[in-house]
Amino acid sequence: MRLFLAPMEGVVDHHMRRILTQIGGIDMCVTEFIRITSHVLPTRVYHKYCPELPTAPANKGNQNIGALSPVKVQLLGSNADMLAENAVKVCELGASGIDLNFGCPAKTVNKSNGGACLLDHTALLHEIVSSVRNAVPANIPVSAKIRLGYNDRNTYLDNAKAIADAGANELCVHARSKADGYKPPAYWRYIADIKNALTIPVIANGEIWAQADFVACKEQSLCNDFMLGRGLLSKPDLALQIKHHVNGTPYTPMPWHEVQSHVRTFFDVTCDSYPKKHMGNRLKQWLFYLKREYPEAHVLFENIKREKTEETLRAALAVNVS
User: Across-strand partners of 204?
Assistant: 173, 226
CA dihedral over 294, 300, 303, 309, signed as positive or negative: negative
Q: Is residue 117 within 8 Å of residue 110, measured between CB atoms?
A: yes
Angle between helices 295-304 and 310-318 (to 10 degrees): 150
In three state form, how does the secondary structure of 51-111 look?
Answer: CCCCCCHHHHCCCCCCCCCCEEEEEECCCHHHHHHHHHHHHHCCCCCEEEEECCCCHHHHH
CA distances from 115 to 1, 6, 15, 72 (A): 27, 15, 24, 17
Angle between helices 256-270 and 295-304 (to 10 degrees): 40
Q: Are strands 142-147 and 170-174 parallel, antiparallel or unpaired?
A: parallel
Element (H, E) at 311: helix 310-318
* Type of residue at 149: G
Between CA 248 and CA 239, with CA 259 as vertex, the angle to 5 degrees is: 30
Q: Which of 29, 50, 104, 223 is catalytic?
A: 104
Instruction: Report the alpha-carbon distance of residue 245 to residue 176 in Å, rounded.
Output: 26
* 3-class DSSP assignment, residue 34: strand
Element (H, E) at 173: strand 170-174
**Residue 104 designated active-site:** yes
Active site residues: 104
